[in-house]
Chain A
């Protein structure tokens, strides 16, 4: 079954929802797709449990507002829908509990959000080690946080947000292990001041952490998680002195920034450029969010990490641009309708840059990872195996995949490809070589039963027999 529209929007977070609403308002038939059960994305995720609903905060209010506006609009919202393939033109192949469906439209906005990065360390795959993003997802959807004796580690605003919210839930972390130093935070303050409301939120988080007397270890990172079936402790290293400390913990939340979830951007062949500040690779686009692929617009963190508010503004511009290109909005109306979003985007850029600098992945630290550290957790490929493959002549990521199976598991390299590239790049690989895996469908593993549905043998369009 194929559903047709004027515009498809993939991802119902701040960017995608705003794109869909803007295009709908301009008169386009819009279908908004998301794999989650409700719109809101990661940041404005809908609460699933009573406990989560009773804990109201600003993000929840924004999410509720967003879902309310979508409900009141003409946007066809298809949640619980997983896209597994995309071709220009545009046709999205999807599965959901209702089975396989396809969506087709001449224009597509990609607003796919970001994936968290974790700098691998010995034992990072131990049960009890989670991402900071997983912590926020759990708190927003379920109103709870797993663990009693927790440590939060990593970098950027998310680190402070998770620590503060853990305090509010009555599980103050035993420690915050912050890769950044105090100086890094101080340099960010002027950028943060560009968004006073957000700066105030950050200060409230800090106040809560201070009030709970949570120790903050600045300029430090996790070098080892100890424990077999459960986490017992972590080893924290002070980056300046090299001194290591053991901290007991049953749960570690760790994250080293975000990277664009750009599998579909790449599958569709959108031009990209390396941009470490934006999380790895940024999808090129013009000021109206048009990518290099005709009819394809990109918005939000999926095209380069900026954060929720710039994403919403980008989404609105993308939706309006699609409406304009569709002929539903004159140039003057487009300019008028997008003026506010463009102004917002400009004002928020300094805030976004300051956040992104704090979140920027510590590429240099990949060179001192222990050889037995697992890089690809799906296929258990270690740093030593990557080094051996390099010695055997592997000099790009597709070769590394063939030599070691790295990236062949269910996550398709989403967790490991950038880290493996970082390790490989340090082994005398041409600086200019593209160290990315060729994008492949299915974008995420797809349930065979949903993919194939029910069918009669005689309906399978088996091609003509091969010559004998």
Chain B
């Protein structure tokens, strides 16, 4: 057989890896994409698909805004449908403490560029008639929406094949060796050679970086979601809550997805994750409190997915220190929302260009073994 050296090997076929592979191939690189399973079968295919600013960290708002614009135009650049709907978003406050939280957070995100304003209870219920009228205040953002995350895999698969990316699904990578001029990617079925490599393994970027002798602690969150049966229209916006612990939206086919980052249980080592009784009931109660009509529905399914988080809950996107030609991208926090734009910037760097917006190099996280961050109970994002 002929031994091909690819320009770029991308390890991890979620939304980040698939986007990097796609943009790099479109820029003329010969790209191979490897995944231990099928494309977008972990977090990228199982998250709630929320494309919101109101659960995004303020520092990431500029990236999320650019990415939101890309998602809305997905048919143009991706070429395939991921069911993107752009709509208004509301974040709610039911208590005085939540009002205060909401005001602080809306101000910070507005400063970062998100078009968020505080609205009265009356105005919020005009925007979203399905809301519980007992709310005290809401923050309203005109840039919000959602994708149908479970279509990510099929849409990217088509696009990647059209871009002539060599797809290697169900090919777990067992190790990675720098060769001086590139990398040998070891798989069970042989070695794949590439000049550069990008690690986009979600929660598994920690063991992937260990192949290169780098220790980057990644915390694994097990985010939980539930979905109702198809029901009559009960809402038209993306609804969240001041703390970020709720995300709710009704898809065009009528199901309502309930999320917000309530935690299930699971382990990155076994790959197994599952819901908990407490989180299912707690999240459902919060959802029904926000949209009372949900009380009359049936809950059909709950599921979980891993989300990766660094010690400072900011992304790990950039070159791997001390290993020329190796790159990493993950733990993006608003990971699904921001992925296409983060990938765009990373591919610019890989091509030797200056990225349109700065990357998030991991050097800051490697200086010493970081103490546990003050608050790991995050939840949110759209996962």
B residues near A412, Cβ cutoff 8 Å: 300-301
Partner of A402, one of B108, B154, B229, B381: B154
Please, which residue of chain B has its CB at the minimum distance from the CB of A430?
B170
Question: Is the C-beta of A464 less than 8 angstroms from some C-beta in chain B?
Answer: yes
Q: Of A395, A408, A438, A442, which contacts B38 at CB under 8 A?
A: A395
Q: A468 at interface (Cβ–Cβ under 8 A)?
A: yes
Number of cross-chain contacts by CB at 8 Å: 143
Chain B residues near A458: list those with CB within 8 A. 95
Bitwise, B281-319 to A at CB < 8 A (1) or not (0) is: 110111011000011111111110000000001000000
A1 to B150, CA, bound (A): 36
Residue of B227, B228, B244 touching A465 (CB-CB under 8 A): B244
Say yes or no for A396: interface residue by CB 8 A criterion.
yes
- Asked whether A462 lies within 8 Å of B282 as measured between CB atoms, the reply is yes
Bound CA–CA A27/B31 (angstroms) = 67
Contact yes or no, A463 B262, CB < 8 A: yes
B37 CB to nearest chain A CB (Å):
9
CB of B277 within 8 A of chain A? yes
B300 touches A392 (CB 8 A): no
Contact yes or no, B41 A399, CB < 8 A: yes
Binary CB contact string for chain B from 84 to 128 against chain A (1 if under 8 A, 0 otherwise): 000000000011000001001100100000000000000000000
Check if A403 sits within 8 Å of B280, measured CB to CB: no
The verdict on B45 contacting chain A, using a C-beta distance below 8 Å, is: yes
Is A232 part of the contact surface with B, judged by Cβ < 8 Å? no
Q: CB distance A442 to B302 under 8 Å? A: yes
User: What chain B residues lie within 8 Å of A455 (beta carbons)?
Assistant: 285
- How many residues does chain B have at the interface if contact means C-beta atoms less than 8 Å apart? 65
Contacts of A405 in B (CB 8 A): 253
A438 to B305, CA, bound (A): 13
CB neighbours of A408 from chain B (8 A): 227, 255, 300-301
- The interface stretch among B2-10, B207-215, B371-379 is B371-379
Scan A436-468; emit 1 where CB is below 8 A from any B CB, else 0.
Answer: 001011100111110110010110111111111
B261 within 8 A of A: yes
What string of 1s and 0s marks CB contacts (under 8 Å) between A379-403 and chain B?
0000000000100111110110111
B280 touches A468 (CB 8 A): no
Residues from 125 to 170 in B contacting A, C-beta threshold 8 Å: 150-151, 153-154, 157-158, 169
Known: A402-B151, A403-B154, A465-B245. A452 touches B281 (CB 8 A): yes
Q: Which residues of chain B have C-beta atoms less than 8 A from A100's C-beta?
A: 281
Q: Is the CB of B151 within 8 A of A461?
A: no
Determine if B248 is an interface residue (Cβ-Cβ < 8 Å).
no
Known: A445-B229, A464-B375, A466-B378. A451 touches B284 (CB 8 A): yes
Contacts of A464 in B (CB 8 A): 243, 375, 377
For residue A198, which residues in chain B have a CB less than 8 angstroms away from its CB?
A: none
CA distance A455 to B58 in the complex (A): 33
The reply on B16 being an interface residue by CB < 8 A is no
Please measure, in the bound complex, the distance between the C-alpha atom of A401 and the C-alpha atom of B151, giving whole angstroms.
10
Known: A402-B45, A410-B229, A461-B282. A452 touches B244 (CB 8 A): no
- Asked, given contacts A451-B281, A465-B244, whether A392 binds B101 with beta carbons under 8 Å apart, the answer is no
Instruction: Report yes or no: A93 in contact with B277, Cβ–Cβ below 8 A.
Output: yes
Say yes or no for A85: interface residue by CB 8 A criterion: yes
| Distance to closest chain B CB from A381 (angstroms) | 13
Contact A393:B38 (CB < 8 A) given known A448-B295, A466-B380: yes
B159 to chain A, nearest CB (A): 12
Across the interface, do A448 and B288 meet the contact criterion of CB distance under 8 Å? yes
Q: Are A446 and B229 in contact (CB under 8 A)?
A: no
CB-CB under 8 A from A401, the residues of chain B are 150
Residue numbers in A under 8 Å from B39 (CB-CB): 393
CA distance A147 to B354 in the complex (A): 74
Of A409, A448, A451, which is in contact with the most chain B CB atoms at under 10 Å from its CB?
A448
> How many angstroms from the CA of A446 to the CA of B253 in the assembled complex?
20
Task: List residues of chain B with CB within 8 A of the CB of A264.
Answer: none
* Chain B nearest Cβ from A68, distance in angstroms: 35
Contacts of B255 in A (CB 8 A): 408
CA distance in complex: A243, B228 (Å): 45
What are some 15 contacts across the A-B interface (CB < 8 A)? Answer: A85-B277, A402-B150, A403-B154, A408-B255, A440-B303, A442-B300, A445-B298, A446-B299, A447-B298, A452-B295, A458-B95, A462-B241, A465-B243, A466-B245, A467-B378
Q: Which residues of B contact A (CB under 8 A)?
A: 38-41, 45, 55, 57-58, 94-95, 101, 104-105, 108, 150-151, 153-154, 157-158, 169, 227-230, 241-245, 253, 255, 261-263, 274-278, 280-282, 284-286, 288-289, 294-303, 313, 375, 377-381
Given contacts A93-B277, A445-B298, A463-B262, 13 further A-B contacts (CB under 8 A): A100-B281, A392-B154, A398-B41, A399-B153, A402-B151, A405-B253, A408-B255, A408-B300, A441-B274, A448-B294, A449-B295, A461-B282, A468-B58
- Residues of A that sit less than 8 Å from B by CB: 85, 87, 91, 93, 100, 102, 389, 392-396, 398-399, 401-403, 405, 408-410, 412, 438, 440-442, 445-449, 451-452, 455, 457-458, 460-468
The 4 closest A-B pairs by CB, nearest first: A466-B380, A466-B244, A465-B243, A464-B377
